Every structure is written in C-alpha cells, then in structure tokens.
Structure 1
Amino acid sequence: MATLFSKIAQGEVPAYKIAEDSQFLAFLDINPNAKGHTLCIPKKEVDKIFDLEEEVYQELMRFSRKVAIALEKTVPCKRVGMAVVGLEVPHVHVHLIPLNSMKDMDFSNSVKMSDEEFEKLAESIHVNL
C-alpha cells in the first residue's frame, strides 16, 4: 500500500511543495516544529534511509542541501537543522528545521500556521532556490 508521502509525490494528496525534480520532492511539514519545517523525500518509496542505493542517498543529500540553503535565506533562523527519524511514515524523509534554539528540534512541539501562511511560505522558499 502506498504511503502518504507516495500519494503526495503522485499528486493524490495536496502539499505545500517547495522543490521538485524527477527523483525528489520537498514540501512543508503540516505539523511543523518551527515555521519552515520542510520534508525532503525520494519519490521512490523506500522505508529506511540506509536502504537507499548509495547514489540515491547522495543525491537526496544534495537535494536537501539546496532546499536548506533556500530555507535559511527565507526564514529568519540561526541555522537549519537536519534530522532523519522515519518512524511516523515508512518512507524515507529528511526533516529540515529552521533553528533558533534546541527546542526547535523537539518533535513533541509544533507551531500552528494557517493555509495562507503555508502557501506564502512555500512560495517564498521556492523563490530562493
């Protein structure tokens, strides 16, 4: 059965997309730790990051870096943190989280944003790619 992220990649479920190419997709997390919290995924469904082929793993990191640089240009923060947890959705995903304190990496916290805020933010980050 396809994961939620596969459905997003296939356009079956809407998302606030930031960047996309033939292999990868970046979109805003709808339950963000901080404003701008972004997920980068391979379009091909693989459960665990270290099960990715070496080349795909390296390309995912390059794609994530590009998105993180745009994110840092857009969202005021001290730096962009990266985490790979993978327990919530069985589909490889890299969390990119704008950080101003260690609390921003705490996955038990979240910030609330309106649809309009999500849309404007996604457009702003995309412009900085």
Structure 2
Amino acid sequence: MATLFTRIIDGEIPGRFVWADDVAVAFTTIAPITDGHTLVVPRAEIVQLTDAPDDVLAHLMTVAATIGRAQQAAWDAPRAALLVAGFEVPHLHLHVLPAWDEASLSFANARSDVPAGDLDAAAERVRAALGDAGHGAHVPAGLGSPAL
C-alpha cells in the first residue's frame, strides 16, 4: 500500500510542492513549526533514514541545504534547521525550516490551525527564493504538481 507521501507525490492528495527532480520532491507541511517548514522526500518509498542508499541520502541533503538557504533568504532567518524523526509517516522525510533558536525546534510547536492561504503564501515564498537563487528548473510549475 502506498504511503501518504507517495499519494501526495502521485497527486492523489494535494501538496504544496516547492521542488521536484528525479530522486526527490519537497513540499511544505500542513503543520508547520515555523513558516516555510518544508519536507524533503525521496520519490522511492524508503521507510527510514538508515534504510536509504548513500547516494539518495547525499541527494536529499543537497536538496535540504538548497531549500534551507532559500528559507533563510525568504524569512531573513539566521539558520536553517534540519530535523529527521520519521515516526508519523513510514516514508523517509527531512524537515527543513527557517530557525531563530533551538528552543523553537520542537514538534510540540507545530501549528495545525494555519489558514490554507497562509500555507500557500509560505510555499510561494520558498518557491520564489529558490527561483531567485537560480533553481527554477527544479521548481514545479504549480503548487499542486511535482511534475517538472
């Protein structure tokens, strides 16, 4: 059975995509810890970090760093943070988010009541910053599509 993230990647469930390539996609989460909180997900259904081949891990980290730099630019954040937990969905994913301090990097701070328009706006800020940084080839044509 396909994971929740595979269903998002396949377009069965809507997603706010900010990145897509042959190996990975990235979309903003519906429960952000900070604005712009993005998930970097391999297209392949890999359950957890330690199951991923080294080349996939290296690619995911490169994409996460690229998105982190875009988030820092978009929100004028001093850091981009990376969290890897993976308990809520059995499909490897990296949480990348603009960060101002370590205290705010807790899933207990995730907000589930953010209006859809605000989630859309945050995703557009990430997409615009990626485009401004020269990564437009990997920014999908629309928020709801991982296809390039």
| Partner-residue secondary structure (3-state), 1:108 | helix
What letter corresponds to residue 49 of structure 2 in structure 1? I
TM (normalized to structure 1)? 0.93
How many percent of aligned residue pairs carry the same amino acid?
A: 31
2:145 corresponds to = none
1:110 has 2:101 as partner: no
Aligned partner of 1:10 in structure 2 is 10
Q: Is the 8 A contact 2:71 2:77 kept in 1?
A: no
Matching residue of 2:79:
79
Q: TM-score under structure 2 normalisation?
A: 0.82
Aligned length: 129
Task: For residues 42-63 of structure 1, give each alpha carbon's deviation from its aligned partner in whole angstroms, at most 9, with x where no partner exists.
Answer: 0111001121111111111111
Q: Do the aligned partners of 2:24 and 2:41 also contact (CA within 8 Å) in 1?
A: yes
CA displacement 1:89-112 (0-9 Å, x = unmatched): 000000112111223211111234
Other-structure match for 1:45? 45
Equivalent-residue separation in structure 1 for 2:16 and 2:76 (angstroms): 19
Poorly superposed stretches of 4+, deviation over 6 Å: none
Q: Which string of whole-angstrom CA distances, capped at 9 and with x for unpartnered residues, describes residues 109-129 of structure 1?
A: 123421111112211211111
1:60-99 per-residue CA deviation (whole Å, 9 max, x = no partner) reads 1111111111111112322111011111100000011211
**Structure 2 runs not aligned, ≥5 long:** 131-148
Output the aligned Cα RMSD.
Answer: 1.2
